[in-house]
Chains A and B, each alone.
Chain A
Amino acid sequence: MILLLSSLIWIPIIAALVLALMPGSWVNAIKGIGLFVSAAMFVVSLGLVTGWREGFAGMQFPEELDWIPQWGIRYGLGVDGISLWLVLLTTLLTPVVFLASWNTIHKHPKAYVIAFLIMEAGTVGVFAATDLFLFYVFFELTLLPMYVIIGVWGGKNRIYAAVKFFLFTIAGSLLMLLGIIYLVFQHYHETQLISFTITDLYGTAANLSSYTQALLFFAFALAFAIKVPLFPLHTWLPDAHVEAPTGGSIILAGVMLKMGTYGFLRFVLPFFPEATAKYAGVLIALSVIGIIYGALVAWVQPDMKKLVAYSSVSHLGFCVLGIFALNQTSIEGSILQMVNHGLSTGALFLLVGVVYERRHTRLLADYGGLAETMPVYAVCFVIAMLSSVGLPGLNGFVGEFLILSGSFQTHPTAAILSATGVILAAIYLLWLIQRVFYGPITNEENRNVPEIAWNEIGALVPLFVFIVWIGVHPNTFLSRMSPSVQQLLSQVQHEREHKVLQARVGQPPALSGQAGELAIHGGAR
């Protein structure tokens, strides 16, 4: 299967187009097609794992096509150890969304299915693009369906939340666009070649003044930091989650936030190794603050969904910490934690949605004693909770352990402070469990809540399977990401050393820069 990645992108789009032509009244057929196509995409994406070349660091399943040759823009796709599992997470969560929301979407079901299919295509595109322009197109493309999902199927303040979401993210990405253009222009200036291919642009920034590098670094970093979201840019997230429908929250938390952390790994680190080394401390500090801040704020939320949303701020802080600790273990842990967060927070949002559909409230104070009325639901919730608090044997522990023990080797203070997040996670999630499920039933409305339905259980099962799998045998995942992470790190290291060497020899920077550029190109290709 040479066109594996393309089919993951285009088949959902084609399906969306076909659905667009169908009459909206064929509700079940539309839902069925959505579920079938997305499930099929998951099966297809498994081909990435079975066809994986172990031990190979570079892009696999590459696809190359000239798109706009005069500007050096190509349709280039490929996955490496950094993006593989994020692509699979996307293809896993999309059918989960369709299954979980089978009975809950009554408004414009056709548009709903179309929006999520386009979302899937765009997300896979983001993780698989090897061309910067293509990446940017997909990056922005995903904004639209999510904007629509929040704005159409959201709660009371959906318009406010949708616009806030859109403006925050687009503000960041516009800056990044300037950065991209500057970088491409600089590369053109040096080589007389115009190219958007990511690997071509590696090393370009090395010849810029450190001031310009810093500006570019922050232009990119800001875009991704908003997406993650990193403290203090996180305030759009709780609003977006609270207003988004369940499916929207699952995709938003599950994969969309990962575009930020992925962006750091794919672009910020290799494009700006020097600035990364210089400013890693800033990002680490913000991550640590975010971990503790998010957890503390989660603890005092009266709304379940907001609680989970703030917990995402905390958990994503771990991912960014791992990335900027610049260490093999911490980065692998970080990638694993991106997947973990998608699974456990996806499950938590799904579960909050289950009870919201039945009771139309998310306030903790309205619940209590649900373990008696909905025992199976309670068990599912406890499992998702345990995954999220990092119980050893489940996925969260491995991710957090690798991030923290890796970070500890380079930034011990940050790791120790962040480890308090593990205590805090237990505080806010156990509080939620206690408030919702235990104690006597004080509110009569909780006495006859229908038990979790089969389609909802069906949506949870695949998540739980991976939660246990990653917890017990994470090597399946780690071994496939390891070579790519190693290459990324050596690249960052190499360029920094190169620069140091240059400074020592004292050659005129412009000249030696050109030479170094070529050498690096040879290495990167």
Chain B
Amino acid sequence: MLTKLWLIPLLPFIGFVLNGLFGKRLGKAFVTGVALVSTFGAAVVGTMAAFQYHAQYPEGERYVQTVFNWFTSGSIHADVAFQLDPLSIVMLMVVTWIGALIHLYSVGYMAHEDGYWRYFAYLNLFLSEMLVLILGANYLVMFVGWEGVGLCSYLLIGFYYKTDYAPAAGKKAFVVNRIGDFGFLIAVFLMFAYLGTADFGLVSHRAAAGVDAWLLTAICLLLFLGACGKSAQIPLYVWLPDAMAGPTPVSALIHAATMVTAGVYMIARSNALYRLAPDAMMVVAIVGSVTALFAATIGIRQWDIKKVLAYSTVSQLGFMFIGVGVGAFTAGVFHLVTHAFFKACLFLGSGSVIHAMSGEQDIRKMGGLRSKIPITYWTFLIATIAIAGFPPFAGFFSKDEILGSALSSPYLPAGVRYLVWGLGSVAALCTAYYMFRLVFLTFFGDFRGTHEQEHHLHESPATMTIPLIVLATLSTIGGFALAWHHTLAKWLEPIYPKIEGRESEFAIANEVPLMIVATIIAAIGTWLAYVRFYKRGLAADESFAQSSPAIARGMENKWYVDELYEAIIVRPLEKISLFFWKFIDAIIDGLAAMLGYIVQGFGDLMRFFQTGNVRNYALMLFLGVIVFMWVIS
């Protein structure tokens, strides 16, 4: 299987083609079969390839397979090439297996939806593009997957196309991502212009061999702009909360576990460049920490169950960027993995809640669901404990490693280290707070929905609960297992090229005290949520709105960032465009007409020839030429 790496993305692509072309006619059983066989197939083939790789390359060397030359033109040479190395294997396992689980979950969740075939066609295409993204051996192939997942995200966010909001959200996602992609593209131009290649290995090698610092800083910052788009960081995070308009399993797969983490993967992949450009790393770390806190504050005061999770995702992605930004790439990837476990579990759990509530997403109309949907409740609770960062659940290990590394990073000046750690710690407190608020409002207290909803409350079918149980288990033990004896760190070690003075691993000072602090922070957040929401329920939200109305309104309205962008970017641009069209174009036409009149005035002498018949003009033209020729010869 190792020699057929292209088969891994190809399998779901075949699924996409089959379901896209025939799914509508051949019915649900066919669609389900194709979708599950192709995705589980990709997972199995991927796993086999990983084992073979490990057997053949126990040292973790890079295995590259060139499929064909995509294009060659002048100095630009781009291959369609795939690679396997420890980092892509980590991503491969997360993407294929969680992807397969979510496909399974979708079978139950989407069972009664129109466009079942369309849904699975898109989802398969997504998986295929995501695999291209993580298996690509150069920045261009990565970019193919990068834009491809963006397209699928657009299609799936707008899945409920008959509504007004879903297609608008899809468009917003695509456009905002394009802004990031612009940065990515320019970074690739820089690579081709100055390093002569976009191959991961060669780029790292040539960068380490010594190039101008400005070049690496520029490439890293531009790549990070791309990451900000795809991974929803300030200032480009605005599309992700809106993306919740898509079906819930899509939010779990694309907008929590896999696609949105692509930016983190990309930076980890480019670690050699970043380590040589500490200025760029500082930007990454600061943006990550600010995003982590900023999004968390919004998450505190949302009532749509999916919106809370969406802001939580933005915030958690911020943590991952802190990790890669301070030089703890392993920690960033670690959090990517554990986050995939617990956030997929939370989103699928929210889907199960919504399913039980007959489509209701407002937590103000929920409450007391604990006893009605116990499996959902327990798995949701476990994932919440994991994201809040209690030992020994998954999130504890990865988050702790990130914050600890932030304090000890050799890449950042002391002030920045404390700032990043401080912002991250407050964000961690908020995380525990908003997540337990969500749990208490949803699963505890009295039921606040309609009678009809209450009557319909039911636990989800096995296709939905099995993935929940699997993910909850991983959220419990996944972090511990990967941290035990530094399993993940050792596994990933080969992806960090040795660069003198720019180590990829550094000791975390005061690790044990920091762990205790982190646990206390999580406990405080949980306790605050308990005091307010377990005891008082929704009344706590109301009293907050009364005691500090300005802050409450700011949080509720997402600090008015969308409105700000609308006012300073979108509307001015629209005005300029209208001005160009209505004014500049009219002036050009006016000038042309004036020129016409001048020529006409001059041409009055020649009125004899002006018959107004274009064909005559053409004839005259040719005659004129011939006479001229005759004269000069």
Contact = CB atoms under 8 A, between A and B. Distances in A.
24 contacts: A70-B633, A71-B630, A140-B618, A144-B614, A170-B617, A177-B621, A185-B632, A300-B578, A329-B73, A332-B74, A393-B144, A408-B186, A408-B189, A409-B75, A409-B192, A415-B186, A422-B182, A422-B185, A423-B182, A430-B171, A430-B175, A434-B167, A437-B161, A439-B163
B73 A332 contact: yes
A88 interface: no
A297 B185 contact: no
B531 interface: no
Nearest to A239: B589
Interface string B170-202: 110011001101100110111011000000000
Interface in A185-217: 185, 188, 194
Interface stretch (B90-98, B416-424, B429-437, B580-588): B580-588
A482 interface: yes
Interface of A: 68, 70-71, 73, 136-137, 140, 143-144, 147, 163, 166-168, 170, 174, 177, 181, 185, 188, 194, 232-235, 293, 296-297, 299-301, 327-330, 332-333, 369, 371-372, 386, 391-393, 397-398, 401-402, 404-406, 408-409, 412, 415-416, 419-420, 422-423, 426-427, 430-431, 433-434, 437-440, 472-475, 478-479, 482
B602 interface: no
B3 interface: no
A144 B188 CA distance: 45
Contacts of A234: 588
B175 A439 contact: no
Interface of B: 68-76, 140, 143-144, 147-148, 151, 154, 158, 161-164, 166-168, 170-171, 174-175, 178-179, 181-182, 185-186, 188-190, 192-193, 573-574, 576-578, 580-581, 584-585, 588-589, 592, 596, 614-615, 617-618, 621-622, 625, 628-630, 632-633
B594 to A, nearest CB: 13
A430 B174 contact: yes
Contacts of B158: 438
Contacts of A422: 178, 181-182, 185
B76 A405 contact: yes
A447 B401 CA distance: 58
Nearest to B158: A438
Nearest to B586: A235
Nearest to A331: B74
A297 B76 CA distance: 33
A475 B168 CA distance: 37
A216 B20 CA distance: 56
A409 B193 contact: yes
A250 B75 CA distance: 34
Given A170-B617, A404-B185, A297 B580 contact: yes
Nearest to A297: B581
A502 to B, nearest CB: 28
Given A170-B617, A472-B70, 20 more contacts: A137-B622, A140-B618, A147-B614, A233-B588, A293-B580, A300-B577, A329-B75, A329-B76, A392-B143, A392-B144, A404-B185, A408-B186, A409-B192, A426-B174, A426-B178, A438-B161, A440-B162, A474-B70, A475-B69, A475-B70
A512 to B, nearest CB: 26
A328 B75 contact: yes
By CB atoms of chain B within 10 A, which of A167, A177, A299, A438 has the most? A438
Contact of A296 (B576, B592, B614, B617): B576
B614 A478 contact: no
A397 to B, nearest CB: 8
A372 B625 contact: no
A482 B193 contact: no
Contacts of B161: 371-372, 437-439
A345 B426 CA distance: 52
Contact of B596 (A143, A167, A412): A167
B585 A235 contact: yes
A140 B166 CA distance: 50
A23 to B, nearest CB: 24
A386 B151 contact: yes
Nearest to B147: A392
